[in-house]
Amino acid sequence: MKILVTGGTGMLGSAIIRLYHQEHELHFIGRNAAIVQQLSAKYPVTGHVADLCDLDAISKIFADIEQDKSNDEQIDAIIHCAALSSPWGAYQAFEQGNVQATRNLLAVAEQYNIQTFVHISTTSVYFDFTDRWNITEQDPVASPFCNDYAETKYLAEQAVLASSIHSVILRPRGIFGPNDQAIVPRLLAAIKGRYLLLPSAKNPVLDLTYVDNVATAALLACAKGPSLPKGEIFNITNGEPMPINSVLAALLTALGYKARLVTLPYALIAPIIALNEYIRRRLAHCPEPKITVYGAGLLHFHQTLNIEKANQLLGYQASVSITEGIRRYVDWTKNKTV
């Protein structure tokens, strides 16, 4: 297949390139010109530098791909990984990066009659600061949403569903692995001396997903998307829900950190975190707090996902376990190549 990957310089996009560059003709879009050049030099893929908020730039990329005389085949599928993924930021930035960028991409994809659009969303749309077990795709999303990221990712889903393009939506949970710029780096930054302070003693059971497994799910969605009803939504996880403290302890040990997990009472610490967030949003430049209300909630409330639908309709199975994923992530940190 000829596949266009957005967010190709990010964790998931680069994993798709690393894993599937030999099986498919891959084009990718990224904003970081240096990383686009590195990936294009390392793998037999074609990189394009553009901001998805720039409709003209996207149109030019599609035109250039279509006019490539070396291969007459048009793009078979788009895997839309690009997003502003952060627990903190201005709503306008999230709206532009997650909603408007998706609308722009859909508009051009419709113009070129792209067959399949695989949209990478998030299970954050379910998170409502309560314990939720075995969440299925038919269960309600949060109301209100936990933050601007979750809200705009859901709005992006609605844009995808409203499009005439045949789409598949994936909602992966807690992606980690090489090129992770969110989960693990933020946890490590929270280490103070020999301690990692956690805002809860609850030790919630959570699902995580190694990035290569999400990449596999995305390619399965490309292959099987045309045979599925339009707009099918799939939860994607490793299928290994486990207490978060066990995961953190294993990760710290594998990375060589000797920090000990120290828990704080959530009922006491949560209002302080909320007050700190309230104050920072009103300061110049809105500096990001060490931990947000959302971040604290993730480390306190149980949340597990049901992935039976992905197992049955996509044929998805996580091939890389959490334990193996941690080992691979640690190996990557020693070299940190693209």
Torsion of CA 35, 335, 219, 55, to 10 degrees: -20
CB count in 10 Å sphere of residue 331: 11
Please confirm, yes or no, whether 149 is among the known catalytic residues: yes
- CB hemisphere CA count around 18 (13 angstroms): 18
- Say how far apart CA 270 and CA 276 lie, in whole Å: 10
- 3-state SS of the chain is CEEEEECCCCHHHHHHHHHHCCCCEEEEEECCHHHHHHHHHHCCCEEEECCCCCHHHHHHHHHHHHCCCCCCCCCCEEEECCCCCCCCCCHHHHHHHHHHHHHHHHHHHHHCCCCEEEEECCHHHHCCCCCEEEECCCCCCCCCCCCHHHHHHHHHHHHHHHCCCEEEEEEECCEECCCCCCHHHHHHHCEECCEEEECCCCCCEECCEEHHHHHHHHHHHHHHHHHCCCCEEEEECCCCCEEHHHHHHHHHHHHCCCCEEEECCHHHHHHHHHHHHHHHCCCCCCCCCCCCHHHHHHCCCCEEECCHHHHHHHCCCCCCCHHHHHHHHHHHHCCCCC
Angle between helices 211-224 and 11-20 (to 10 degrees): 70
The token duo for 34 is 């240096």
**Catalytic annotation, pick one of 20, 149, 266, 294:** 149
- Residues noted as catalytic: 149
